[in-house]
Amino acid sequence: MEIIPTILEKDLTLAENRFSQVKNLSSWVQIDVTDNVFVPGKSIELELFSKFGQTYSTLFDIHLMVKEPINWIKKCLFIDASRIYGQVEMMSDRELFVTEAKNSGLEVGLAFNIDTPIDNIPSECDLILLMGRPAGFGNYPLDERIYQRIVEAKKFGKKIALDGGVTPDNFQKLKDSGLDIIYLGQYFLNLINEKKDL
């Protein structure tokens, strides 16, 4: 299982500080993007991350929590992203989103908020990202339904990832659930500082 740090910030300085903390600890960094439509609040402009990619050899993984994620693919390519997820609740055509991303040379996944049924997965989709709690800014506890949702998602034969709600109390159980990727915010640094076996 892979552990990947995340960056969700409204302020560029905070994003830069966060990136500097994690860039040497993981080959991947996930950038969370919001546009104040799917969830309240707007993250910093995705294009501002371009200088990070030019300076460091980090693989960018973009989580598009935005209206019509397909319209953001070019922005993801601009910052040399390698993988993108789009929230299914915000796209009008899942098949088209996946096809366009794949044709652009990207690894692509579909993201599902905690209340969204897991279905209609295009064959070319590489990953399924499950939100462990409501998407967006703020601290929310892990929704216990996530364990059954992991079981459901595995039936599609894709890599399964989880984002949100991970704490020291549930980390091991989630790790044992068969996830391929867990995305972590501040808890990523806590694990590193405690020298936990990731």
Measured distance CA(124)–CA(107) in Å, rounded: 10
Burial status of residue 42 (CB atoms within 10 A of its CB: 0-12, 13-18, 19 or more): middle
pLDDT on residue 93: 98
Distance CA 109, CA 129 (A): 7
Calculate helix-pair angle for 12-22, 186-193, nearest 10 degrees: 30
For the chain, list residues with pLDDT below 50: 198
State which H helix or E strand residue 99 sits in.
helix 94-103
6 — phi, psi (to 5°)? -120, 155
- Asked if residues 3 and 184 have their Cβ atoms less than 8 Å apart, the reply is yes
Q: Is the dihedral of CA 165, 166, 170, 176 positive or negative?
A: positive
118 secondary structure, DSSP code: -
Give pLDDT, residue 190. Answer: 63
Task: Give me the pLDDT at residue 186, please.
Answer: 65
> Residue 5 corresponds to which tokens in the numbers above?
């740090």
∠ CA 45-95-133, nearest 5°, is 55
- Over residues 63-108, the pLDDT tens digits come to 999 999 999 999 999 999 999 999 999 999 999 999 999 999 999 9
Spell out the domain ranges in the chain: 2-193
Distance, CA of 196 to CA of 59 (rounded, Å): 23
CA distances from 178 to 2, 98, 116, 118, 168 (A): 11, 24, 21, 17, 18
What's the confidence (pLDDT) of residue 128? 98
What does the pLDDT read at residue 168? Answer: 85
- CATH 3.40.1190.20 for domain 2-193: no
SS (H, E, C) 17-66: HHHHHHCCCCCEEEEEEEECCCCCCECCCHHHHHHHHHHCCCEEEEEEEC
